[in-house]
Structure formats: structure tokens, C-alpha cells
Structure 1
Amino acid sequence: MAHQRPDILRAMLTVINGAMAALAGAVVLSLRPWRMLQGALLTPALAALALLPWLWLLPQKMPQGLQVQLSGACLLVLMLGWPLAVLVLGGVAAVVWGVGQAPAEAALHQWVWIGLVPATLALGIGAALRRWLPANPFVYTLGRAFLGTAVAVFVSGLLLEGLQQLAGLPVRDLSLVARWLMAWGDAFLTGMFGAIFVAFAPQWLATWSDARYLKPPAPPP
């Protein structure tokens, strides 16, 4: 029976992943975010479906033991908003499952922990920054796009490590260090593209508003 225990624990983790995915899917379907694709957001959504699967396929293409993984979920939240980003990330996971060599459980795991959880944390961080910090382009690009991405990706890694430890699954040594470094890789890409889109293609950022972030300062009393 001892040799069956890891399989049972992995099955329990898959059930948890499925429950989280089902809950997020129900919320997304109730919001009907595909209506936003009638505007300028169709282009970044299609670009994400074409490009992001190759980032998610990196762990399958790297040598064993060198698991390089980039998310892109926080950038999608900035560009598409949380509901549409979750929907597109589901499509990305489906493409990874279709063209990759990993089973469906692995694709579901990626959708939840590389896509859904960082995207949800990025949504919460963005809401907190909007609530507590002034409406400033630097707050958006440096706070939400750069630092917010680093926190969201790293915390999602911490949550996954904690869940695996609670389930009794083995955790690789130094994995937290690797997750911390990879979080900053995601933060650099999100911050860079966020700043570029703010300057040259703000219509591709559903979370950006010229009226909010570029409004003139209030006159002195």
C-alpha cells in the first residue's frame, strides 16, 4: 500500500485543481467575457493563443531537472482583464495538452498554478494598488505590471509548495529559490510589455484608462 500513496496524493491534488478550475470557469462563463473580443482586444487574445503555449511547453523541452517556466498570466490580466484572461489561459492549456507530451492532468495543473492562481493574485494586487495608491502611470507600470507580477507569481509558487507539502508530495530542494528567480523573469517581461503598450498601444490594455492615469493635476485651491 505504501507504493500507492504517492499516486493517491497526486490524484487528490488533481481533484483540487479540477475544483478550482471548475469554480473559475463558472465565474468566467457567468461574466461572458468573450463579448470584449469584438473590439481591439481580439488581437492580443489571438496573439496570446499563438505565442504563450510555447512558453508553457518549455519544461517539456528543457533537459530533465532544469524546469524553466514562464507564466504570462499577469500580462494577460493587464491586457484582457481577469475573466477574458482566464478564458484565454484555458485555451493555452488546451493547446499545450494537444501539441505537447504531457497528460491532461499536467495541462490542468499548468492552467491552475501557472495561469489561474497568478492571474487571480494579480487581480487582487491591482485592486489594492487602485485603492491605496494614486492614479499614476508609474504606479501602473512599475507597481502593477512589474512588482505586482513578481509578487503574484512567487506567491502562487509558495501556495503550490505548501499544498504539495500538506499532501505529502515530495518537494525539490531549492525550488523556492528557482520560483523566486523565475518570478522576476515574468516581472521583467510584464513590466516591459506593459510600458510599451501604455506608450504605443493603450487600446490593448483593458486595465488602462487615459482618463484615470493621464488626467491633469487638480488646480491649487
Structure 2
Amino acid sequence: MSSHEALTAAAEDRKSRLAQLKSLKRKAPPSDAEPSTSLTTSATAATTASDPDPATKYLSGRNYDPASRQAKLGYTAAEQLDKTTTLEYQAQQLAIASRADQEAEKAEESTGIDVWKLQPKKPNWDLKRDLEEKMRVVDVWSENAVARLVREKVEEKGRSLEEGKKDKDMRNESNGTGNGDEAEKETGVVGADIVGAMHMLEKEEEDERRREEVDGEADAS
């Protein structure tokens, strides 16, 4: 006899024995000593405690709900996370902040403009603005003209000094004497003229700067 036939015979034997047990249970008379309700309940509880549900015994419960005997759904059994780290919470906070900013802007608009805080401008402010662009070129011309005048004056003094020196040298040669003190004095005069011209230029620049400061203070007031 092969193994397949042996297994088939064992299965048939098991089925026949189960059928006999079922028929005996149906034909068995009811017991006269009925247990009370409390005893039945305690026995049932003990049986339940001793024989746990296979679903809870063999399943982890991570994806299966033993109570409903169905698979867990993400939207019905979500994990409890920190709500402050969710995107929904952050979006809600941004919405609250933007709403507060809008309310503050509306409050400022409702109060209106404070006339006393406005700084009035002088009637000629636009003329002064247009004049500043043109005055830049004029200022450059003025500086160049002053520098040219100083240079011409120095050159003229130098030429006159050279001519005077030549004349004096000729007279000294004819007289046989030298006069270097006068040449040194004339050189000092030329240096004093240059220094005076530079001081005059600095004074004009200082006056111009003061006038601009006074005009700025007048515009601010």
C-alpha cells in the first residue's frame, strides 16, 4: 500500500469517527442537574481566559482590529503625533498671523492720516531738485576756474620775479653788489599769495556747505 492510499484511509477513518460523535451528541438526553447562571458565566469566563482568541494570540494587532475583526484603516486609527509638528497646525498658525496683520492694517486705515505728522515741502522744492543737477556742472567749472586763476597768478608772480631778478642781477653786476634779501622777500610774497588763494577757496566751499545745511534745515522744518 502506498503512502497516498494510507493517508486517504486515515482521513476517511477520521471523518467516520467525527460523524459518530455528532450523532451521539444529538441522541444524548439533557442532564437533570442544570448549572446555575452564575456558574455558567464563571465557567464561560474561565474558558475564555484559558482559551484566548486566536486573533489576539497569533496576530500583532498592528494591521488587524480584533474588536471589529477587520483590517485597520489609516483614517480611522491614526497615530497620536505631536500636533505642533504637523503641516495643518503650521498652516493654521500662518493663517492666524496673516489675519492679525490684515486686521492691524484695517485699523490703521480706519484711523486715517495724521495731518500733524506730515512734513510739508517748500514751494520751490522741485526747482531746487532740478537745479542740483545743473549746479554740479557749474561747481566743477567754478573749481577749475579758481584753480586756473591761482595757477595764472603764481605763474605771473614767477615771471615778474624772474624779470625783477634779472634786472637786479644786471644792476648788481654793474654796481658790483648782491641783493639776495629782496629776492627772498618776493618769493615769500608769492608763497603768501598762494596760501591766501587757497584759504579763499576753502572759505568759499565752507560758506557753500553752510548754505546747503541751512536750506536743508529749513526744508525739514
TM-score by length of 2: 0.22
For the pair shown, the structure with the greater C-alpha radius of gyration is 2
Greater relative contact order (Cα 8 A, min sep 6): structure 1 or 2?
1
TM-score by length of 1: 0.22
